[in-house]
Amino acid sequence: MIYPKILEELIEYFKKLPGIGEKSAERLALSVIESSEDDIKMFSKTMIEAKKNLHPCTICGNLTTEKICSICDNEYRNNKLICVVEDYKSIFAFEKMGKYNGVYHVLNGLISPINGITPYDLNIDGLLNRCKKEENIELIIALKPSIEGETTTQYINKILEKTKVKVSRLSYGLPVGAELDYLDSLTLERAFEDRKNI
Amino acid sequence: MIYPKILEELIEYFKKLPGIGEKSAERLALSVIESSEDDIKMFSKTMIEAKKNLHPCTICGNLTTEKICSICDNEYRNNKLICVVEDYKSIFAFEKMGKYNGVYHVLNGLISPINGITPYDLNIDGLLNRCKKEENIELIIALKPSIEGETTTQYINKILEKTKVKVSRLSYGLPVGAELDYLDSLTLERAFEDRKNI
């Protein structure tokens, strides 16, 4: 064993984190033991508190330390416009965009028969309840462009077909800055299908 | 603020680690809060214990939880062959190589007048004492090929000039697998100077 046992253990913990390989884990572990004991204690405390205090918003499923998240609780946001997302991480991506003024609904997954995930495993009932509570609800389904994403989109659209809820999905097409000759054919096909009049 | 405050704080801690940017810090923080509370507690405990228990070996300066590190304490290693390194991280690199059977000496830095680091700030006295204690000591100076590294190498060589201690340094030259046309001229120059008869 090259490293002292306790350091080896610390490296193992870092290696469990996403995107951290052997080399990075070693670098991170060594940098930790080079920081002050107070810093390490504060870091640990923050990790444990974040884990303890963060839970899903009772309305939309976003991460929050309160009962209702800061987005649902914001009276300046349009709560008749609901963006339906797979998980709370998508919310952060949309919030960074900074152009969306509606609220969100987290499904906690996508329909995937191959992995045994049915519509009943997702937070679709919660979505239907929200659609019933208010009038003139508009849904923007923002799921990833995969078989599971599309199945889930179609499923939600289907069950809301006979209601007055307006449903749209994000457009498929060219990502900004893409080189056309490097794009996969499926993306190009979608960009053709979803083409827009100018 | 896009993230809940406690999550934002956790992201800030991860951003302080080397090689971790905004995006990676977010990913790491989210992955932490998705692991179990027990795992987070064990991770924290390991960090704090590593910090508390790891300290320099009293002989060579390597990281250890004991008084003397596992390398100095290993009777199968040649303690008359001492590899002089800048910091304990270099020891890990040499140990990974797996071909070196001597011991080490950590200087804790390099001579750097521009940064106000003089020979007296380094653990050179400790090295001299080790050279005096035993006979037929051989030093391999393994410092980085920079002005500071070379100054320190020359300094150590100079003060040992009149003793019987044999001093060598690592060779400079082409790194294995390098493309000659991409190498900098200084490395090529050194490879010429240090050329070896075949």
Q: What is the pLDDT of residues B132-169, one digit of tens each?
A: 988 899 999 999 988 999 999 999 999 999 899 999 99
Residue A103 CB-density burial (10 A; 0-12 exposed, 13-18 middle, 19+ buried): buried
Rounded alpha-carbon distances, angstroms, from residue A13 to B31, B130, B151: 12, 37, 39
Per-residue model confidence (pLDDT) at position B46:
95
Is B7 close to A47, i.e. CB distance below 8 A? no
Reading across the β-sheet that carries B102-106, which strands appear in turn? B102-106, B78-85, B138-141, B166-169
- A31 lies within 8 A of chain B by CB: yes
A28, B50 contact by CB (below 8 A): no
Per-residue model confidence (pLDDT) at position B30:
94
Q: Which residues contact A110 (CB under 8 A, 6 or more apart)?
A: A86, A117, A122, A143, A144, A146, A148, A149, A151, A152
State pLDDT tens for residues A145-180: 889 999 999 999 999 998 999 999 998 888 888 888
pLDDT at A22 exceeding the cut of 80: yes
Fold observed for domain A68-169 = Dna Topoisomerase Vi A Subunit; Chain: A, domain 2 (3.40.1360)
pLDDT at B1 exceeding the cut of 80: no
Q: How far is B179 from chain A (nearest CA, A)?
A: 24
Residues of A in contact with B49 (CB under 8 A): 6
The whole-number average pLDDT for the span B116-125 is: 95
Task: Please state, in angstroms and rounded to a whole number, the distance separating the CA atoms of residues B69 and A4.
Answer: 9
The total number of residues shown for chain B amounts to 198
- A46 lies within 8 A of chain B by CB: yes
Domain boundaries of chain A, sorted by first residue: 5-53, 68-169
Among B149, B73, B62, CA closest to B111: B149
Residues of A in contact with B15 (CB under 8 A): none
Structure tokens at B9: 């704080």
Per-residue model confidence (pLDDT) at position A30:
94
pLDDT at B14 exceeding the cut of 80: yes
B4, A63 contact by CB (below 8 A): yes
- A17 lies within 8 A of chain B by CB: yes
Per-residue model confidence (pLDDT) at position B82:
96
Per-residue model confidence (pLDDT) at position B32:
95
pLDDT at A58 exceeding the cut of 90: yes
Rg (CA), chain B: 22
Helices (H), B35-178: 37-53, 88-97, 124-133, 147-159
Residues of A in contact with B67 (CB under 8 A): none
Is B54 close to A6, i.e. CB distance below 8 A? yes
Whole-model pTM: value is 0.82
**H or E stretch covering A34:** helix A22-34
Q: Which residues contact B64 (CB under 8 A, 6 or more apart)?
A: A4, B54, B55, B56, B57, B70
A138, A80 contact by CB (below 8 A): yes
Per-residue model confidence (pLDDT) at position B177:
85
Q: Which of B1, B2, B48, B108 to mutate to test the interface with A (most CBs of A within 10 A)?
A: B2
- A89 lies within 8 A of chain B by CB: yes
Structure tokens at B174: 């082409």
The second-level CATH assignment, the architecture, of A5-53 is: Orthogonal Bundle (1.10)
A112, A148 contact by CB (below 8 A): yes
Among A139, A136, A168, A148, CA closest to A60: A139
The confidence band for B77, taking pLDDT boundaries of 50, 70 and 90, is very high
A65, B5 contact by CB (below 8 A): yes
Task: Tell me the CATH number for domain B76-169.
Answer: 3.40.1360.10
Task: Tell me the CATH number for domain B1-35.
Answer: 1.10.8.420
Per-residue model confidence (pLDDT) at position A196:
81
Phi, psi angle pair for B9, to nearest 5°: -65, -45
- A147 lies within 8 A of chain B by CB: no
Q: Which of the pair, B67 or A190, is modelled with greater confidence? A: B67
Task: Please state, in angstroms and rounded to a whole number, the distance separating the CA atoms of residues B60 and B107.
Answer: 9
The confidence band for A195, taking pLDDT boundaries of 50, 70 and 90, is confident
B21, B29 contact by CB (below 8 A): no
pLDDT at B176 exceeding the cut of 90: no
The whole-number average pLDDT for the span A168-196 is: 85
Residues of A in contact with B18 (CB under 8 A): 27-28, 31
Task: Say whether B76-169 and B1-35 share the same fold.
Answer: no
Structure tokens at B188: 């090529």
Task: Please state, in angstroms and rounded to a whole number, the distance separating the CA atoms of residues A192 and A195.
Answer: 5
Residues of B in contact with A40 (CB under 8 A): 47-48, 51
State pLDDT tens for residues A113-143: 999 999 999 999 999 999 998 889 999 999 9
Write down the ipTM of this complex. 0.83
Per-residue model confidence (pLDDT) at position B184:
85
Task: Please state, in angstroms and rounded to a whole number, the distance separating the CA atoms of residues B151 and B8.
Answer: 44
Rounded alpha-carbon distances, angstroms, from residue A98 to A11, A68, B198: 37, 20, 66
- B51 lies within 8 A of chain A by CB: yes
pLDDT at A188 exceeding the cut of 80: yes
pLDDT at A95 exceeding the cut of 80: yes
Rounded alpha-carbon distances, angstroms, from residue B57 to B97, B106, B121, B130: 21, 10, 18, 14
Per-residue model confidence (pLDDT) at position A192:
86
Q: How far is A85 from chain B (nearest CA, A)?
A: 16
Q: What is the average pLDDT value for chain B, to the nearest integer?
A: 92
The beta-carbon neighbor of B41 closest among A2, A19, A48 is A48
Helix B124-133 with B147-159: angle, nearest 10 deg: 40
Phi, psi angle pair for B159, to nearest 5°: -70, -15
The confidence band for B25, taking pLDDT boundaries of 50, 70 and 90, is very high
- A40 lies within 8 A of chain B by CB: yes
List residues bridging with A105 in a β-sheet.
A84
